[in-house]
Amino acid sequence: MIDQDEIEARLARFTVTRDGRAVWPDVSPASFRAAQREVARVTTAVLTGSPGPVPLCRSPGIDATALAVGAFAAGMSPLIAYWCEQGSVAATGEIAERLALALSHGRQRGAELQRALQMLLVELAKGNVEACVCRGTHVRERYLPDLGTASTSHIDLLIRRDDQEAAGAVMRRLGFETGNSGSGRKDWTRPGRQISRSLEYAHVDDSWFVSLYVDPSLEAPEDFSTEMWQGFSRPVRVLRPPVLLADLAIQAGKHFYELSLIRLVDVALVAKRDFAGRADAWRAFDDLVKRRALGTLLYPAFDLVERLAPGTIDPVVLEHVTASAPWRLRRVVEAVTPASVLRVHPLPPPGQSVWAPSPSQVAMAAAKGWLRRIRTGINGGGARGGSA
């Protein structure tokens, strides 16, 4: 068991080096990559309906620690543990115990986040702010098989631009403080909870935060691109299936150079549940892609999802999305696999974009990222494998 001081020291070193060896010095890059491949192999087998139980092997070079770390970095530890419970995957010995611990903490954490979500929805409504549950929070509540299988460290809510001031007042009244902000997003944190208790699973006492998003590129002003869902004690707004799938895939591509496997699984689960066997739904989605010119943005995630779980993405949609992607982007995506796309030895420079159409633009984006790092520092939580 690693004590808290050592955890903080390792994360501090990662902030400087952005190298996974600072966090997990006992796991070599080769062992980590082997563990990534094993986690992806098992994931593919389950998503494609292979008869279970699928053995989670510890082949040469992958010990229990490497496999636990690889699953954690992929955001897959609790989901694989759940599959073990259900008989879809077979794990034994120490790795089975480590995965079960991740799921136990995940369930406690998921219950806490769900309670916080329902409280936030009620309090925002009292402040005349209608929030939409979106992104990882929507997936956790509606698409994952168990609350404990999510690896998200935050609550995602979408609000209207005109409601930003009122929403901020509600968050401050509830004791939240403004944290990081990005384009169209403001994070709210809770004082005294900015810690990490483990480097192998999301501990129930780890910090979490609330992300309030405004005006996403896919928003339709006339109807907020949402529908009502009877998922709680009161109806809540969620993104409509075509918009949700597009938004998740675009966000996965946006974080391409730090893309954890669970992000691809989220896209696959939504596609399978909302679109499988529904040619009409895929045609409507294809129309959305054409109208909004989303093909290039969707391509990285759709290509990787289809390789992770063949048959998930409609072939016509995939053909159109692929045809719209510049050759340079296709070359970058084709050079990786669902298992290898996440690189932590080291992580690429912050700010690097897979959509930059030329090396000079990539370099410029990276330079801007490093400048931000020098000025403001970076969050060491990126090594922990959560969904943003």
pLDDT of residue 227: 86
Categorize the per-residue pLDDT at 13 as very low, low, confident or very high, splitting at 50, 70 and 90.
Answer: very high
Cβ pair 182, 140 in contact under 8 A? no
Categorize the per-residue pLDDT at 363 as very low, low, confident or very high, splitting at 50, 70 and 90.
Answer: very low
Q: Which two structure tokens, joined as six digits, stand for 108? A: 């406690």
Rounded to an integer, the average pLDDT of 220-247 is: 79
**What predicted TM-score, i.e. pTM, was given to this entire model?**
0.88
Q: Scanning the structure block, which residue is given the tokens 């530890």?
A: 77
* Enclosing H/E stretch for 295: helix 295-308
Rounded to an integer, the average pLDDT of 158-174 is: 93
From CA 116, how far away is CA 88, in angstroms rounded?
Answer: 31
Per-residue pLDDT of 285-339, as tens digits, reads 999 999 989 999 999 999 999 999 999 999 999 999 999 999 999 999 999 999 9
- Give the three-state DSSP class for 93: helix
Rounded to an integer, the average pLDDT of 270-277 is: 96
Rounded to an integer, the average pLDDT of 364-376 is: 43
CA angle, corner 344, sides to 313 and 261, nearest 5? 25
pLDDT of residue 205: 87
From CA 152, how far away is CA 386, in angstroms rounded?
Answer: 5
pLDDT of residue 374: 37
Rounded to an integer, the average pLDDT of 103-110 is: 95
Nearest to 213 by CA among 114, 132, 294: 132
Backbone angles phi, psi at 296, to 5 degrees: -60, -40
CATH of domain 4-384: 3.30.460.40
Q: Is residue 348 classed exposed, middle or buried when 0-12, 13-18 and 19+ CB atoms within 10 A define those classes?
A: middle
Q: How many residues does the chain have?
A: 388
Nearest to 354 by CA among 215, 259, 245, 248: 259
Q: Scanning the structure block, which residue is given the tokens 């120490």?
A: 94
Q: Which two structure tokens, joined as six digits, stand for 322? A: 């692929």
From CA 240, how far away is CA 237, in angstroms rounded?
Answer: 9
pLDDT of residue 385: 38
